[in-house]
A and B are shown apart, each in its own frame.
Chain A
């Protein structure tokens, strides 16, 4: 089970997904629940407590897809981000594509959360 500090760090993921899709954590469509990230951290650390979970690589790919979709959502004209914010999100998207650890993914998510702070609910 994820440690408390890991749970707190993982919250950035949920915040970003929920913010992008204006949804709650229980909507299965966007997979925005913090548990997706904590499960990934568990798998990375060899703490595979949940038998039905796929491999770390598969979970990582899924999380990256979810975040990429959220970034794309923010890049759509509806959000009216500034040129600068869009540019920075594109940099994050490129970086996410080559991320291979939860540390890197969460770092990207944290920056993305900060960039989109004006839309916090």
Chain B
């Protein structure tokens, strides 16, 4: 048994693990679904500073994209329990953790080991934690388990363009950054597993399918990723009796969802 198989065996039947990272949207100026549509139409997820109360929550000099490492059912329960759609809603994009790791995504560092966090160094709007090197600043999150700064349950991951693989501060998913004719897309940003778009209603799946129908030019759009993008709706999950750990785990085995590209 090689190491890869051994690792698979170790992780088998662990309901707390996921092969996917979920970037979720929330209700703000726009509805959560409208934000998801914006992501789909632009073909990329843009990095941000995750500003809360006029303060950046992403440290360092690079903006980042936030993901959660929760399994899909845990994510659903989180949305329900938090009960605040302006903070988290059941809409998002689930991407392969393996590919995202290769592209430079890493888990958030929830606090450093020092007894008390140092005074953060500020340079304009940018904030730095002196305990971490510049390259890892984007991963830092202020944490104190004893008070209100405990977000460890979110199991956050972040991606920034630190490796310089993308053209800017964005993660290209359905748009090609580079086009290789032989490959039929962008090999760097092609995902090894299906990409799932998570929505609440079946009619929203239809809207997504209509949007993807416009993504035709292979030089511009990443047909490899589009071909393996699936939409799953909460409505269908519920009516099929899949709204449970086992049912949603089945999805991650690539056997569910509606392909957004109908050839």
Q: Interface of A with B (CB < 8 Å)?
A: 83-84, 87-88, 91, 94-95, 98, 103-104, 107, 110-111, 114-115
CA distance A67 to B85 in the complex (A): 22
- Residue-wise interface mask of B (80-105) relative to A, using a CB-CB cutoff of 8 A (1 in contact, 0 not): 11010100000000000000000000
**Number of B interface residues, CB 8 Å?**
12
Q: Are A103 and B85 touching (Cβ within 8 A)?
A: no
List of B residues within 8 angstroms of A87 by Cβ: 80, 83
Q: Is B200 an interface residue (CB 8 A)?
A: yes
Q: Are A103 and B203 touching (Cβ within 8 A)?
A: yes
Instruction: Specify the chain A residue showing the minimal Cβ separation from B77.
Output: A84
Q: Is B235 an interface residue (CB 8 A)?
A: yes
Q: Are A104 and B239 touching (Cβ within 8 A)?
A: no
List of A residues within 8 angstroms of B83 by Cβ: 83, 87
Q: Are A91 and B200 touching (Cβ within 8 A)?
A: yes
- Residue-wise interface mask of B (173-215) relative to A, using a CB-CB cutoff of 8 A (1 in contact, 0 not): 0000000000000000000000000001111000000000000
Q: Is B238 an interface residue (CB 8 A)?
A: yes
Q: Interface of B with A (CB < 8 Å)?
A: 31, 80-81, 83, 85, 200-203, 235, 238-239
Can you give 10 contacting A-B residue pairs, CB < 8 Å?
A83-B80, A83-B83, A84-B80, A87-B80, A95-B200, A107-B201, A107-B202, A111-B235, A114-B238, A114-B239
CA distance A16 to B137 in the complex (A): 52
CA distance A104 to B200 in the complex (A): 12
Query: How many Å from the CB of B208 to the closest CB on chain A?
Result: 15
| SS class, residues of chain A in contact with chain B | helix
Query: How many Å from the CB of A92 to the closest CB on chain B?
Result: 9
List of B residues within 8 angstroms of A107 by Cβ: 201-203, 235
Give me the 5 closest cross-chain CB pairs, A-B, nearest first: A84-B80, A87-B80, A107-B203, A87-B83, A111-B235
CA distance A104 to B207 in the complex (A): 12
CA distance A61 to B31 in the complex (A): 21
CA distance A115 to B237 in the complex (A): 12
Instruction: Specify the chain B residue showing the minimal Cβ separation from A115.
Output: B238
Take A91-B85, A114-B238, A114-B239 as given contacts and tell me if A104 and B203 are in contact as well, using a CB distance cutoff of 8 Å. Answer: yes
Query: How many Å from the CB of A13 to the closest CB on chain B?
Result: 17
Query: How many Å from the CB of B201 to the closest CB on chain A?
Result: 6
Apart from A107-B203, A114-B239, 17 more pairs, CB < 8 Å: A83-B81, A84-B80, A87-B80, A88-B80, A91-B200, A95-B200, A98-B31, A103-B203, A104-B203, A107-B201, A107-B202, A107-B235, A110-B235, A111-B201, A111-B235, A111-B238, A114-B238
Query: How many Å from the CB of B158 to the closest CB on chain A?
Result: 28
List of A residues within 8 angstroms of B85 by Cβ: 91, 94
List of A residues within 8 angstroms of B238 by Cβ: 111, 114-115
Instruction: Specify the chain A residue showing the minimal Cβ separation from B203.
Output: A107
List of A residues within 8 angstroms of B239 by Cβ: 114
Instruction: Specify the chain A residue showing the minimal Cβ separation from B201.
Output: A107
Query: How many Å from the CB of B104 to the closest CB on chain A?
Result: 35
Interface centre among B80, B81, B238, by most chain A C-beta atoms within 10 angstroms, is B80
List of B residues within 8 angstroms of A95 by Cβ: 200-201
Query: How many Å from the CB of A49 to the closest CB on chain B?
Result: 27
CA distance A114 to B202 in the complex (A): 14
List of B residues within 8 angstroms of A98 by Cβ: 31
Query: How many Å from the CB of A82 to the closest CB on chain B?
Result: 9
List of B residues within 8 angstroms of A110 by Cβ: 235
List of A residues within 8 angstroms of B31 by Cβ: 98
CA distance A110 to B126 in the complex (A): 48
CA distance A88 to B81 in the complex (A): 11
List of A residues within 8 angstroms of B202 by Cβ: 107
